Chains A and B, each alone.
Chain A
């Protein structure tokens, strides 16, 4: 029996799009959190250095 294109289950397409979004935006979110943490550490260190200056 010939298969019609409407018979195709689109689940693979949805999984690819969802996974791509999760990987790209998840990685971007992870990097943004890391950047914020380093910025906070940097600012804290600058504050400590400033407070110890005579």
Chain B
């Protein structure tokens, strides 16, 4: 295993591990799409529209996971004052926003043919998901406008912690205030999910998790390179 000039681990044929991971991720997405659109059976009531489930639900799980990372990293930053945790919180919030955006538009495009409406302000799951999106958009706007000082990092961490309160409310909203959004298909206590639905779901979850990890790796690389650039500029009094 060699190390190239830009710090990438190479497997000795001039291809680094990041490129291989990118290729594997792309293949995973192709398999997941095939499994979802071709292999997964047509649902009796919703028909072809149920296939949106294989994008909507994995990305909802990823969004919850990302926002949980924001919570953990924010607590760790306030406790340790280590800027690494602050960077992790910011990157996770970006990923959370990206995933939630896809969840919102896929849900809307699923709702239109099945419920006959793009959106309903009466549905608690829809509204709390939008609130979650707005909280973390606010978080990122504060980070963007407040600059990279310690005060902004502290205030953002507090928002990152308090904003998490909305996550369990969003998750349990379908049990508390049932309206349009159905109960979770994969966790129903009365019936187990069929393997014909479960396998495409697991492939989709794996594939989209890999895409998100890839995005996270590139974001971390950008943060590291930007820090190095800023440090060099300061040391040499440039810019």
Q: Are B48 and A10 in contact (CB under 8 A)?
A: yes
Residues of A contacting B236 in the complex (Cβ-Cβ under 8 angstroms): 45, 49
Q: Are B101 and A23 in contact (CB under 8 A)?
A: yes
For the complex, count residues of B whose C-beta is within 8 A of A. 41
| Closest chain B residue to A23, Cβ basis | B102
Query: Which A residues from 7 to 52 make CB contacts under 8 A with B?
Result: 7-10, 12-13, 15-17, 19-21, 23-25, 27-28, 31-32, 34-35, 38-39, 41-42, 45-46, 49
Interface flag for B167 (CB, 8 Å): no
Q: Which secondary structure dominates chain B's binding surface? A: helix
Select one of B44, B55, B229 contacting A5, CB under 8 A.
Answer: B44
Residues of A contacting B109 in the complex (Cβ-Cβ under 8 angstroms): 12, 15-16
Q: Which secondary structure dominates chain A's binding surface? A: helix
Which residues of chain B have a CB within 8 Å of any CB of chain A? Answer: 6, 29, 33, 37, 42-44, 46-49, 51-52, 55-56, 59, 98, 101-102, 105-106, 109-110, 112-113, 208, 211, 214-215, 218-219, 221-222, 225-226, 228-229, 232-233, 236, 238
Q: What would be 14 A-B contacts, judged by CB atoms less than 8 Å apart?
A: A8-B49, A8-B113, A12-B52, A16-B106, A20-B59, A24-B211, A27-B98, A28-B211, A31-B215, A31-B222, A32-B218, A35-B222, A41-B229, A45-B238
